[in-house]
Structure 1
Amino acid sequence: MAYQVLARKWRPLNFAQLVGQEHVIKALANAFANGRLHHAYLLTGTRGVGKTTIARIMAKALNCETGVTAEPCGVCSACTQIDAGRFVDLLEIDAASNTGIDNIREVLDNAQYAPTVGRFKVYIIDEVHMLSKSAFNAMLKTLEEPPGHVKFILATTDPQKMPITVLSRCLQFSLRQMTPQQVAGHLQKVLDAEQIPFEAGALPVLGHAANGSMRDALSLLDQAIAYGAGQVEESGVRAMLGAVDQSYLFEILAALVAKDGQALMKAAAGIAERGLSYEAALHELAHLLHQVAVAQAVPGALADDLPQRPQIVAVAQALAPEDSQLYYQIALHGRRDLPLAPDEYAGFTMTLLRMLAFAPATPGQIRLAPAGEPATMAPQAPPVPPVAQPAPAMPASSSVAPAPVASPVIAPVAPAPVKAEPAQAMPKEPAPWEEAASDATPPKAAIEPPPPEVEPEPVWSEPAPEPAERLYVPPGPAAMPEEEPEPALPAAPPEFDGDWRALVVQLKLGAAGMLAQHAELVEFQSDRFIFRVAEAHKAVATRDYQEKLRGALTDHFGRPIQVEVALGEATGDTPAAIALREKHARQQAAEATIQNDPFVQALVRDLGATVVPDSIRPL
């Protein structure tokens, strides 16, 4: 007997054997058990998740000789013939190779005939999104109201390409990708049943490599059995998949953690020796950094059977979370920019050097600046404190105290300062900046004679800044205290002067603006507006538009306004008609200006030029 591949041999024959699609199985099983049968089903999902398998199981459930059931017997004539692909009332159509309208028309012509041996005539159309637009249009009516003995089961990997008219006529089920744990568990059952020796560590590797597809997982298992000469070993699976070379990723991360550029370049050079693609290396590096970030943020979310889990946890402990986030982003950008690099090696190494150079700053390395000033890097060594300079000397003959530099503010008038006498100067306690100056030893060039002492009164200090609107004080003999402003009276509601076009400009109109532009004001009162709209524009005079216009008028005038709209012959006084007349008038004036221009007339007369009226636009 010829060998049958595992993907076909282990195809599920009933709902109980399906893996990872419990939400679909439950809905279908309940529908068949209760007799709630739809005429068209749509199964969506990526490759290898069981779309065609579920469609065949549904065909058995509909035509099993024991009756419509969620558990077909699998031994009757209908079940065995469907499993063998010989059931005459089950038609499987590949839409990828039968895309035309002629193929669909043939199917629809046969749909009117009753089943030959089964209870229902079942049409399974795979990759239905590849049908042409005309083919979809041809099947719409039959798909919506097929004969009672016909059931359609559509399957596709890309439902976005299907017309919404088809989607709305189907009962849609979205199949999920299987998790690596589900795939590994099913592979273990297959190997146990096939009595093939295996290492437990090899199954998670195959589960992750399948990317959610059980068919891909079984195909990889077939390949692994052949690679291992009848057994499945972890080392053999890793070598077959190229996973053995994943160690270079940890070498790169170790070099980044150690800030070792030489080790980083050595790891990059080793990729070419392994025969790996630099684009694939960046893809794997980003994937590994994602796993590291998961281990740092949510350690429990990291699968226990994940290959190289101990190494991932070790990197997560050695790498700062902000570093892993930064490296992940740089890896994504490096992979995107790889085609623009001089060569792949330069693009890959430049990405690694960017990771090495753009490490996040440590706390305290950035000095926060006040609002409006940029932040600056703090110096590594503490700066030497600047030498305090003494206050500038005041001439002895001066009789006015130094005025502070500040914006003009309203302040009480202080008595004039007394002229200082050096011989009778009172002792004065040193100011804080003078104490600092006495502690420091300034250079000789910075030492100046102390300024003459003055009376301590009045003491002038720089006032706090006032708000911008109070900084200006007009000149005058004395500033009068500000009076409290009188409370503003509420504004009177606006009144309408009959200029409907001007009012339309003031109103906040959305969709109602179309009605307002084509409405002629016939009569108005304080709380009532009556309009006339031409028959040509009755589409904008519906109740919905009237309610929107009434709301806008009510909001504008601050009182309830009634709006009445009647259809009839407009006299041309609508805002849109007035604007159109003004536009034509401006166009005619512009054309007349050009035609009467002496320079243009000279060009026409002497050179045979022609003025194109459509090219003239008014300013």
Structure 2
Amino acid sequence: MSSLTAKYRPRRFAEVAGQDAVKAILSRASATGKIAPAYMFSGTRGVGKTTIARIFAKALNCEKAPAAEPCNECRLCRQANAGNAVDIIEIDAASHGGVGDVRALKEDVGYAPLEGRFKVFIIDEAHMLSTAAFNALLKTLEEPPARVTFILASTEAHKFPATILSRCQHYVFKMLPQAELGAHLEKILQAEGLEYEPGAVRIIARRGAGSVRDSISLLGQALAYSAGALVESEVRACLGLAGQEVFFALMEAIAGRDLPLLSRTLRGVLDQGLDLGFFLRELSGCWRNMFLLRQAGEAIVPELGLPAEEAAQWAEWAGRFTPAHIHACWQMTLDGQQRVIKSLEPAQALELLLLNLACLPDLLPLAALGGGSASRPQGGAAPQRGPQGGASPAAADGAPRTPPVSQPVSQSAPQAASHSAGPAAAPQPPVPQAPVAPVAEQRVAPATQAPERPAAPAPQSEPQSASSMAEAPAAYAAPASGPRSWEGFLEFVAGKNGNGFVTGLSQARGEFCGGVLTLTCHNETHSGMMDKGDNFLRLQRLVMEYFGPESSVAFTCVDREPVKTDGTISREMQEHPAVQLVREAFECRDPALVYPRGR
């Protein structure tokens, strides 16, 4: 089974999997005899670039040409299939990419075809040619002799000089979809007379990632491992891939926040030596399928390419999560793939990612992911939002909402700090919005009459990304009752995370009056550092926590002077007393008077 790739290499355009547009163009060119001086075939590995180049060269030199397909029966076609056709020269630029090799090739170009109609030069991995070799090839590509054509095949077309690309007809080969790869593998299995499970073929096609050659190589590896029939469990064991039971165990642990089960499942994945890159690809595919099934229902099943039984299982799992949770997990898994693979500790990076997925509602309530802006009116409740800032579907379909994370000022500080932000906590009744009283009245008002803060999540100016949810604090304790002043605000901020929690705050002067905290900065740079980005969001949130939910922030500068123009600076310099003394001492006159304008 080790020679499946060579055994089933296509010999006609019709046998090539995919690339329908390229096949149609080259077949028509072969039938009409309208051949370009040079062609460029680019695309990922194993998608048929060299194969189609050989078929095209064979069709041009077939004894029955001009024809759309080679006959594979004449003497010239048989020589081409055996790889010893004298008029089809194939060069590997990885080992013959020097300028000397190109000069030898140019000498060979000058000779007419010996047996066929065309002399075809196929340069594989052409991007490996040196700069001098490219320069030596330029004129030959532009004006080759009659009956000569070049075919350059490469996986990295961006490395070619623009002068080379402009002289070629460039065709980009696409990766094959999973369905086409699976159909091609099934044809090979049927030709071999082997039994197989459709799930096993789907796994190999997904693992092949659009490459026909890689997929056939994996098929040969799996057949060498199996006892005859192609079984899904044996394919996963052979290729080091996780089974469905592993992903179901992960979903059970994430849905129930069962960290011991999550740790045991991850340890099993690592002990089996599974491919972590493909494991994360499949995990992100699970979240994708669950999200689409949760939102579109059974109507999306044909588009997922899953068996009915497997789709029903994932639909059942999707019902155990809110759409916002599924969407956030999907995004975090996609964002974490490269971090896990490139990490110096990939096992710990994967463990951190899975723990974040399981503890996501505890790290930051899903209702606060969308967050309204700071300017939103405080009288109405903000709608629950998903991780991208849009309205969460959980609010529309009756899914349980995460309770608010803040407590009224009437509770003591230890009680507010110990309040749980997880969904297991009992929802609190909404607190009516009370009018904001002056500072002096707030100092003496009883806590049972008008709470200073409504029970609402801390406002945010813009939605947070799902990847930063674990870094955001869950809740803040309410400040002690008493007068609100600038000195008290600095102590309140210092108690949060030190004076550096808001960059530049300790260097400013503040005054709170009429519900507005006015910060006096040293200059424009100081002001710009505080009133932009995350720094301003933290400052705004702290001001609303300390001074009240309807408080705002304003900025002013000490040295807000107008910018002087060049003319103003020159005039002030000429009028300076020191300059006047120097001019009198040396009897200098104004140059404009000595040399009038226009001379």
Q: TM-score, normalised by structure 2?
A: 0.59
Q: Work out the CA distance in 2 between the residues paired with 1:88 and 1:387.
A: 93
Write the deviation string for residues 377-401 of structure 1: whole angstroms up to 9, x where unpaired. 465433788999xxxxxxxxxxxxx
Contact 1:73 1:79 in 2 (8 A): yes
Equivalent residue in structure 2 for 1:269, among 267, 273, 278: 267
Equivalent positions of 1:173-572 (< 5 A) are 173-276=171-274, 281-297=279-295, 299=300, 300-304=302-306, 309-338=311-340, 343-359=345-361, 361=365, 371=375, 377=405, 379=407, 380-382=427-429
Q: Work out the CA distance in 2 between the residues paired with 1:237 and 1:20.
A: 25
SS in 1 for 2:170: strand
Corresponding letter in the other structure for 2:303: A
Q: Work out the CA distance in 1 between the residues paired with 2:184 and 2:341.
A: 40
Corresponding letter in the other structure for 1:324: I
Distance 1:358 1:214, change over 3 A: same
Equivalent residue in structure 2 for 1:99, among 66, 86, 97: 97
Q: Work out the CA distance in 1 between the residues paired with 2:228 and 2:274.
A: 28
Corresponding letter in the other structure for 1:356: A
SS in 2 for 1:243: coil
Contact 1:78 1:118 in 2 (8 A): yes
What is the CA-CA distance between 1:361 and the residue it aligns to? 3.8
Distance 1:140 1:366, change over 3 A: closer
Write the deviation string for residues 224-254 of structure 1: whole angstroms up to 9, x where unpaired. 2221233322222222122344532321222
Distance 1:200 1:350, change over 3 A: closer
Contact 1:245 1:274 in 2 (8 A): no
Q: Report the counterpart of residue 123 of structure 2 in structure 1.
A: 125
Corresponding letter in the other structure for 1:194: E
Contact 2:32 2:66 in 1 (8 A): no
Q: Report the counterpart of residue 421 of structure 1 in structure 2.
A: none
Equivalent residue in structure 2 for 1:8, among 6, 14, 23: 6
Corresponding letter in the other structure for 2:355: L
Write the deviation string for residues 160-206 of structure 1: whole angstroms up to 9, x where unpaired. 11111111111111111112221221222222222223333322222
What is the CA-CA distance between 1:258 and the residue it aligns to? 2.2
Q: Work out the CA distance in 1 between the residues paired with 2:205 and 2:280.
A: 22
Q: Work out the CA distance in 2 between the residues paired with 1:386 and 1:173.
A: 66
Aligned positions, number: 402
Q: Which moved more, 1:288-297 or 1:338-347?
A: 338-347
Contact 1:366 1:377 in 2 (8 A): no
Corresponding letter in the other structure for 1:218: I
Q: Work out the CA distance in 2 between the residues paired with 1:307 and 1:171.
A: 48
Distance 1:81 1:345, change over 3 A: closer
Q: Report the counterpart of residue 52 of structure 1 in structure 2.
A: 50
SS in 1 for 2:51: helix
Q: Work out the CA distance in 1 between the residues paired with 2:54 and 2:97.
A: 22
Q: Report the counterpart of residue 154 of structure 2 in structure 1.
A: 156
Corresponding letter in the other structure for 1:233: V
Q: Work out the CA distance in 1 between the residues paired with 2:328 and 2:71.
A: 57
Distance 1:43 1:83, change over 3 A: same
Q: Which moved more, 1:133-142 or 1:339-348?
A: 339-348
Structure 2: give runs of 5+ residues left out of the alignment.
Answer: 383-403, 408-426, 436-448, 450-578, 583-599
Equivalent positions of 1:106-121 (< 5 A) are 106-121=104-119
SS in 2 for 1:318: coil
Contact 1:21 1:175 in 2 (8 A): yes
Q: Report the counterpart of residue 541 of structure 1 in structure 2.
A: none
Between the aligned residues of both structures, percent identity stands at 38
What is the CA-CA distance between 1:7 and the residue it aligns to? 0.8
Q: Which moved more, 1:59-68 or 1:318-327?
A: 318-327
Contact 1:251 1:267 in 2 (8 A): yes
SS in 1 for 2:133: helix
Q: Which moved more, 1:21-30 or 1:347-356?
A: 347-356
Distance 1:316 1:60, change over 3 A: same
Distance 1:233 1:276, change over 3 A: closer
Structure 1: give runs of 5+ residues left out of the alignment.
Answer: 389-432, 434-592, 597-619
What is the CA-CA distance between 1:141 and the residue it aligns to? 0.6
Q: Work out the CA distance in 1 between the residues paired with 2:307 and 2:88.
A: 42
Contact 2:87 2:113 in 1 (8 A): yes
Q: Work out the CA distance in 2 between the residues paired with 1:169 and 1:365.
A: 53
Q: Work out the CA distance in 2 between the residues paired with 1:56 and 1:383.
A: 74
Q: Work out the CA distance in 2 between the residues paired with 1:246 and 1:45.
A: 32
SS in 1 for 2:153: strand
Q: TM-score, normalised by structure 1?
A: 0.57
SS in 2 for 1:201: helix
What is the CA-CA distance between 1:145 and the residue it aligns to? 0.7
Contact 2:2 2:220 in 1 (8 A): no
Q: Work out the CA distance in 1 between the residues paired with 2:115 and 2:239.
A: 48
Distance 1:312 1:94, change over 3 A: farther
